Amino acid sequence: MTEAKKILVTGGAGFIGSHLVDRLIEEGHQVVIADNLSTGKLRNINPSATFHHTDITLQSIREVFHREQPEIVFHMAAQTSVIESIRDPFKDCQINVTGTLRLLEACKIYGIDRFIYSSTGGALYGDPDVIPCTETTPIIPLCPYGLSKHMGEQYIELFYRLNHLNYTILRYANVYGPRQDPSGESGVIAIFSQLMLQGKNLKIFGDGLQERDFIYVSDIVNANVKAMSSSTQDAFNIGTGRPITINFIYETLQNIIEYSGQVEYHPQRAGEILRISLECEKASKILGWLPSVEIQDGLEKTVEFFRRRVR
């Protein structure tokens, strides 16, 4: 365990952010949350954290830095929907690029020790010729979301060159688990789990043979905690390296839930990739991180969470 720190988590009321906040508090850190609650939930906020209802895209975010004086920043607040980024690329850019830049400026002013950035591997590499992808795979995003997250990475690298702001970039695979929002257009496991438990019919966009790299949320949290003690400035893929089809997810959830409803197949949506998985040897060697939750266990834990929620 690292020495206790004062830590700011943007998006700390959200799906992944709230799990990270819980873990940091368990380890004895003093945690501050900045979240505008556009997708985050008050019920996710750990009562031991200090909460600021604010927006990272506004210059007033500096007031949080001035008041709290954090040592480390985990930047998890983001627009994360591929479909929404295509529908409104200006909003996507405002949140993911301008918001990141606001935070980096504040980090420069207040002398932050390390900036840990939640990026995407699922949308960054587009439809790669070879999977699993390494960190040197060409970056060819197919949607504004992938592009905006990459622009955030480039600003972070620039602030290191100009201002010596230490950083770690974590490129996530498709994250799933408890607290994921089942009401949006992304997060297929959360969406399927809730609909199945409610006995409703499902939609699969495409033939269901498209492949994703699904990683359980606790493995993502572990990677972030490992990044706190890193002394290198670099980007890391965080996934399992195992491609899994949407049909496999459907069939496995069907068995866990004993679902008897129907599934409808619809045309593939624009901007969505066909095949992706992330090779994570670099994270293993440098961060000492490896995924530990198998897909069957992760799906069962996720279903149990949504089972309680549906009840």
- Domain ranges for the chain: 6-175+215-241+278-292
CA angle 8–150–147, rounded 5-degree value = 125
Q: What is the pLDDT of residue 2?
A: 66
Q: Of residues 309 and 115, which shows the higher confidence score?
A: 115
179 Cα distance to chain centroid? 12
Q: What is the pTM of this model?
A: 0.96
pLDDT 10s digits, 205-226 = 999 999 999 999 999 999 999 9
Find the length of the chain: 311
Tokens of 115: 């900036």
144 pLDDT higher than 70: yes
Residue 176: strand, helix, or coil: strand
CA-nearest of 23, 5, 10, 2 to 177 is 23
pLDDT digits 0-9 by tens, 28-84: 999 999 999 999 999 999 999 999 999 999 999 999 999 999 999 999 999 999 999
Catalytic choice (117, 145, 176, 216): 145
Q: Residue 1 pLDDT > 80, yes or no? A: no
Question: What's the sign of the alpha-carbon dihedral 228, 229, 231, 237?
Answer: negative
Residues 89-101 have a mean pLDDT of: 98
Catalytic residue check, 216: no
Classify strands 202-205 and 263-266 as parallel, antiparallel or unpaired.
parallel
**CA distance readout (Å), 277 to 100, 135, 215:** 26, 12, 10
Which residue's entry shows tokens 């501050």?
32
Percentage of residues in the chain with pLDDT exceeding 70?
99
State the pLDDT confidence band at 311, using cuts at 50, 70 and 90: confident
Is the pLDDT at 291 greater than 80? The verdict is: yes
Tell the CATH topology of 6-175+215-241+278-292. Rossmann fold (3.40.50)
Residue ranges of alpha helices (H) inside the chain are: 15-26, 61-68, 82-87, 89-93, 99-110, 144-163, 188-197, 217-228, 246-257, 281-282, 295-310
Per-residue pLDDT tens over the stretch 165-208: 999 999 999 999 999 999 876 799 999 999 999 999 999 999 99
pLDDT tens-digit map of 253-271: 999 999 999 999 999 888 7
Centroid of chain to Cα 266: 26
Report how far Cα 172 is from the mean position of its chain's Cα atoms: 6
The whole-number pLDDT of residue 271 equals 78
CB atoms within 10 A of CB 152: 25
pLDDT of residue 269: 85
